[in-house]
């Protein structure tokens, strides 16, 4: 994805290297001990077959610049062959419940389809009701579990054939 996509007052665009420190900082606020470090974000960005998209709130005067505005969320997707993967997705606590997660996932799945993915996989903590709710609205279906993958929780393995 190279062009910014505007939805209401939120702009979704590619993440650039200069956004990574801010994203990693917010990632640690969302995911705590399991957050990706900025070094890990750099390494993932360098991998072929990955895309990082971010959502930023945009005032009228900021719409022409895709790195302006407050960070509201981000998603990292990968595609290998005909298989896509949602590597991570999050919205900042202040931005939740406004459709930004849905917009990011729509863009990420759209990118994966363009890359040739026939199926998109993800894994999610069995107790993560907000993420499960988001994925189910897209039609992701559970196909397996990894017992105790997270501390005290199974990972639910889901897939979507977009």
Q: Which of 37, 81, 130, 144 binds ligand COA (CB under 6 A)?
A: 130
Contact flag: residue 133 with ligand COA (CB under 6 A): yes
Concatenated DSSP letters for 87-139? Answer: EEEEE-GGGTTSSHHHHHHHHHHHHHHHTT-SEEEEEEETT-HHHHHHHHHHT
How crowded is residue 102: how many other Cβ atoms within 10 Å of its Cβ?
14
Residue 129 interacts with ligand COA (CB under 6 A)? yes
- The alpha carbon dihedral of 134, 138, 142, 143 has a sign of negative
How many positions of this chain bind ligand COA (CB under 6 A)? Answer: 19
Angle 157-158-161 (CA atoms, 0-180°, nearest 5)? Answer: 145
Residue closer to ligand COA (CB basis): 29 or 116: 29
Binding ligand COA (rule: CB under 6 A), the pick from 19, 27, 52, 101 is: 101
Could you give the CA distance from residue 83 to residue 159 in angstroms, rounded to a whole number?
Answer: 10
Please identify which residue in 10, 12, 89, 156 interacts with ligand COA, judged by CB under 6 A. Answer: 89
1-40 binders of ligand COA (CB under 6 A): 30
Question: Which one of residues 7, 9, 45, 99 is an interface residue with ligand COA (CB under 6 A)?
Answer: 99
Judged by beta carbon, residue 116 or residue 144, the one nearer ligand COA is: 144
Token pair recorded at residue 75: 């998603």
Examine residue 121 and tell whether it contacts ligand COA (CB under 6 A).
no
């Amino acid at each position: 994805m190279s062009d910014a996509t505007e939805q209401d007052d939120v702009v979704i665009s590619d993440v650039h290297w200069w956004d990574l420190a801010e994203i990693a900082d917010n990632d640690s606020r969302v995911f705590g001990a399991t957050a990706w470090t900025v070094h890990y974000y750099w390494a993932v960005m360098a991998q072929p077959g990955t895309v990082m998209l971010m959502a930023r709130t945009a005032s009228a005067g900021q719409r022409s610049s895709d790195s302006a505005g407050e960070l509201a969320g981000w998603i990292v997707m990968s595609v290998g062959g005909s298989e896509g993967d949602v590597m991570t997705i999050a919205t900042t606590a202040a931005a939740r419940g406004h459709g930004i997660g849905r917009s990011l996932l729509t863009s990420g799945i759209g990118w994966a389809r363009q890359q040739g993915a026939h199926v998109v996989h993800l894994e999610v903590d069995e107790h993560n009701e907000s993420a499960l709710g988001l994925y189910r609205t897209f039609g992701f279906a559970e196909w397996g579990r990894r017992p105790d993958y997270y501390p005290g929780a199974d990972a639910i393995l889901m897939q979507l054939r977009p």
